């Protein structure tokens, strides 16, 4: 099946190595020889029309008509006439009989794009065609027969449309005999560099220039971007850079000049892929931050238990947090203390203050180790920076797996590409 998929990709110019893409294409190939109705689901620009052509070309109907219809582009008043035809005099301007797409495409395949935009009355006529292969022209009472395979596509949640009363439930289940979900570009980030290079070569040949090249930093920025327009948007960006950029090496600054939104945090991709049971799928970078936060919480709980134990062992009092002042004046703590330190924030972790007449030096020290007489106050500061903790976790994972990045990436729950970028970012010896 792998070789067959590769051959189909070459034939239809489908670029990508993503498992999600291969899964969708594999389903399309399996259903193609049948007459089952297919519903292609996915965002705008993911290649739904290409998949419809794949299904038609691999079906027994491949030598017959294939018609693609954008339901959202046809006015509500004329869509019935476009799809099913009309009789002469059926309405103003109907000066002759006209065949509709379902009549013209008899024996072939019709691709109904933007099916969620279809009016409710047209949906009822379409359901009749799908159930019985029957329809009537506008202005006629004669029932006509047609043998058409329907492939529908939508970028909307049709079930949500059903709940809102904008789409017929019976038509939805009739269309979704075989649903195929096409992944968004941000869900297949490994394909972004491949597609960018392909488009760069294509536009270089078209405009007779040298192909543009993306620096590693520019590719990192492209990988973080959400690409709301998906492949279509990526293609447009590469074309603009191919034409407008004077230099051939594209940097992040060049990208931001063409797509300013690419630098906005809200435009970064935070989507987590849906293959939750598959250990091979790439997780977004925020997952490693979540892991770090959970580890921090566990360490803080352990630290709290340790402090409470030390306080009891050293005979210190544990005050009620409400009895502590919100701010301790500098005059009470000596010049070495920072003014305005908020004590109440630490709650029950703080030892009781001594009597006000005593000097700060009279505090009973907390002895961690060694002879109490020789003990000296020692301040240990640990960085709570997420970047530092992330760096330490990466180092530990690499050390644990003897520098094997693939195993370390799996341990951290991130992709090997993300790990490589982090190693470079933090200058980690690996």
Tell me which residue range forms the domain holding 388: 283-324+344-353+363-430
| Residue 174 and residue 194 share a domain | no
| Residue 137 and residue 79 share a domain | yes
Residue 331 is assigned to a structural domain of this protein: no
| Residue 202 and residue 155 share a domain | no
Q: How far apart are CA 130 and CA 121, in angstroms?
A: 15
How many domains, in total, are found in the chain? 3
Q: How far apart are CA 9 and CA 54, in angstroms?
A: 10
Residue 272 is assigned to a structural domain of this protein: no
Residue 220 is assigned to a structural domain of this protein: yes
Largest CA distance in the chain: 110
Indicate the helix (H) or strand (E) that contains 39: strand 38-41
User: Which CATH number do you get for residue 141?
Assistant: 3.40.50.300
What pLDDT score does 56 carry?
97
The percentage of residues in the chain with a pLDDT greater than 70, rounded to a whole number, is 74
| Residue 77 and residue 53 share a domain | yes
Q: Is 276 helix (H, G, I), strand (E, B) or coil?
A: coil
Residue 214 is assigned to a structural domain of this protein: yes
| Residue 95 and residue 117 share a domain | yes
Question: Which of 259, 192, 265 has the alpha carbon at shortest distance from 417?
Answer: 192
Q: How far apart are CA 9 and CA 2, in angstroms?
A: 11
What pLDDT score does 95 carry?
84
Q: How far apart are CA 124 and CA 118, in angstroms?
A: 10
Residue 367 is assigned to a structural domain of this protein: yes
**What residue ranges of the chain have pLDDT lower than 50?**
271-284, 321-382
List b or e across 289-321, with b for residues whose CB sees 16 or more CB atoms inside 10 angstroms: eebbeeeeeeeeeeeeeebeeebeeeeeeeeee
User: Which CATH number do you get for residue 287?
Assistant: 1.10.10.60
User: Which CATH number do you get for residue 198?
Assistant: 1.10.8.60
Residue 335 is assigned to a structural domain of this protein: no
**Other CB atoms closer than 10 Å to residue 164's CB: what's the count?**
9
pTM: 0.62
């Amino acid at each position: 099946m792998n070789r067959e998929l590769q051959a189909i990709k070459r034939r239809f110019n489908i670029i990508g190595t993503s498992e999600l893409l291969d899964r969708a294409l594999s389903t399309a190939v399996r259903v193609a020889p049948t007459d089952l109705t297919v519903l292609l689901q996915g965002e705008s620009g993911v290649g739904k029309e290409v998949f419809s052509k794949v299904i038609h070309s691999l079906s027994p109907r491949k030598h017959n008509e294939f018609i693609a219809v954008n339901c959202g582009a046809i006015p509500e008043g004329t869509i019935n006439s476009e799809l099913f035809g009309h009789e002469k005099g059926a309405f103003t301007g109907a000066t002759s009989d006209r065949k509709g797409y379902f009549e013209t495409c008899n024996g072939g395949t019709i691709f109904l794009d933007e099916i969620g935009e279809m009016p409710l009355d047209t949906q009822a006529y379409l359901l009749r065609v799908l159930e019985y292969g029957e329809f009537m022209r506008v202005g006629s009472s004669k029932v006509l027969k047609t043998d058409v395979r329907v492939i529908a596509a939508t970028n909307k949640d049709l079930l949500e449309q059903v709940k809102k009363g904008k789409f017929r439930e019976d038509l939805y289940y009739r269309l979704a005999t075989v649903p195929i979900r096409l992944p968004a570009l941000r869900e297949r980030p490994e394909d972004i560099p491949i597609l960018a290079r392909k488009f760069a070569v294509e536009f270089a040949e078209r405009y007779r220039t040298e192909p543009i090249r993306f620096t590693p930093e520019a590719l990192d920025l492209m990988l973080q971007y959400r690409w709301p327009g998906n492949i279509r948007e990526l293609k447009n960006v590469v074309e603009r850079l191919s034409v407008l950029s004077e230099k051939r090496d594209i940097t992040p600054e060049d990208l931001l000049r063409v797509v300013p939104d690419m630098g906005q945090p809200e435009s970064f991709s935070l989507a987590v892929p849906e293959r939750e049971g598959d250990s091979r799928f790439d997780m977004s970078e925020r997952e490693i931050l979540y892991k770090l936060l959970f580890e921090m919480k566990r360490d803080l709980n352990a630290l709290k238990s340790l402090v409470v134990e030390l306080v009891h062992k050293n005979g210190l009092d544990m005050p009620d947090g409400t009895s502590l002042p919100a701010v301790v004046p500098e005059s009470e703590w000596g010049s070495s203390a920072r003014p305005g330190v908020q004590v109440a924030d630490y709650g029950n972790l703080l030892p009781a203050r001594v009597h006000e007449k005593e000097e700060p030096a009279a505090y009973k020290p907390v002895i961690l180790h060694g002879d109490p007489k020789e003990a000296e106050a020692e301040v240990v500061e640990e960085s709570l920076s997420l970047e530092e903790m992330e760096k330490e976790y990466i180092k530990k994972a690499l050390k644990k797996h003897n520098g094997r990045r693939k195993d370390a990436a799996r341990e951290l729950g991130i992709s090997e590409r993300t790990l490589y970028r982090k190693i470079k970012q933090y200058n980690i010896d690996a």
